[in-house]
Structure 1
């Protein structure tokens, strides 16, 4: 059994990727690679990488609520997802890849 990894993607709720919501685009991309994804509760979750300067994502900003999509699966597959969808992920406010319990 391979090690698992988690990719956290945070964005403003109303951000668009083309003509669909950004969070939906991330979900569809993850689903296309058979990765597990969940939409983290936007009102109760804090930014996983405070060191990058992102505020508490549970707060309302002037542009709307921010939220996190958590993507989990075998480490190699999550890394492939990260590489394959870089343009999509870079549209989001930020991403953090968690491998072996550490952000990379």
Structure 2
């Protein structure tokens, strides 16, 4: 794949991350919508040449915590791993980095 960066929106990897309200403590349900907007603004630049972030509340626990799509097609972990490999990214490290960033943002949002 010889693409020039940044990719057009339809070719980007859309990463949907669903945040549990409980991550924000006992008052999480009150803060979850605001936190998701805050987090999206702060991670928007992360790998923005080839990733589009969606940070949403996880109200439905039957939905996966993390979901990958490109061109409106859902990718399983193997396909997401292959996609990220094109950009010299490893899926486990990519997810771990995002989790660390999310934890940092929760602390900032809650004023810790």
Same topology, TM > 0.5: no
TM-score (norm 1): 0.37
Higher relative contact order (CA 8 A, sep 6+): 1
Give the number of the structure whose residues are more often strand, by fraction. 1
TM-score (norm 2): 0.35
Larger Rg: 2
